[in-house]
Amino acid sequence: MTEQNPDFKQPPWVYGPKETMEWIEATHPSEKRDKKPQKGGDNVILKNMHIQLDIDVEQTKINPPNVFSRLLSKITGNTYIEEHFDLLSTADAVLRALAKAKFKHTAKILIDKKIQHDHPEIISDLKNAIDIFKGLSFDINQCKILEITALSDGAHRCTAKIKIKRIHKKKEHAIEILMKGRIKEESYHVFLNYLNEKLKVKNILK
């Protein structure tokens, strides 16, 4: 995995709003924020968030199957690793985190690049999306990558695209999250805090 920068500030998961804001400013200095006055204080809106997470689990290096592949891997530096986490329970945690952050719709689900769900028109189905995984005829935990696209409601529309990678290049990360659009900072905190609590997040990088 990517080594942590010595200047990296750990997220204040147990701190209050002020400390959390200071952490976001330190780790995401380029984020654009809109401030709209609201009764009782400012309502901070975040735009186009890109987050990469590592989970504190065992990892195994995947050895190339033949001499040519090993040589190519050495030249390109594309070493692959396997993350020893449960893909189904990780997906369940991500879906629940999205629901707590006020995302309502599961627009699309792909497993190993194959579409398993593609219904952006269905309203408020995100909490039931885990049933889609349970109904599959194959063992999801043997798959390499799971992708979820979810949509939020309300005045601030946001599309969350999430990749959960059980097998990936060493220089990549286990979970990649792209939130395209606008999301309330409070909802963003709720999302990350829930993931950290349930998945034992090791690193969070932009």
- For residue range 69-82, list pLDDT tens digits in order: 767 766 666 788 99
Predicted confidence at residue 145, as pLDDT, reads 95
Look over the chain and give the mean of its residue pLDDT values, rounded to a whole number. Answer: 79
Predicted confidence at residue 180, as pLDDT, reads 95
Predicted confidence at residue 6, as pLDDT, reads 52
Q: Which of the two residues, 66 and 48, has the higher pLDDT score?
A: 48
| 24: confidence class by pLDDT, cuts 50, 70, 90 | low
For residues 93-99, give the mean pLDDT.
Answer: 91
CA distances, 149 to each of 4, 8, 98 (Å): 28, 29, 10
For residues 84-111, give the mean pLDDT.
Answer: 90
Q: Which residues contact 33 (CB under 8 A, 6 or more apart)?
A: 44, 45, 46, 47, 185
Q: With 90 as the cut, is the pLDDT of residue 97 above it?
A: yes
Q: Which of the two residues, 77 and 85, has the higher pLDDT score?
A: 85
Sign of CA dihedral 7, 26, 98, 108: negative
CA 164, CA 175: separation in Å to the nearest integer?
5
Predicted confidence at residue 119, as pLDDT, reads 81
For residues 122-145, give the mean pLDDT.
Answer: 78
| 19: confidence class by pLDDT, cuts 50, 70, 90 | low
| 25: confidence class by pLDDT, cuts 50, 70, 90 | low
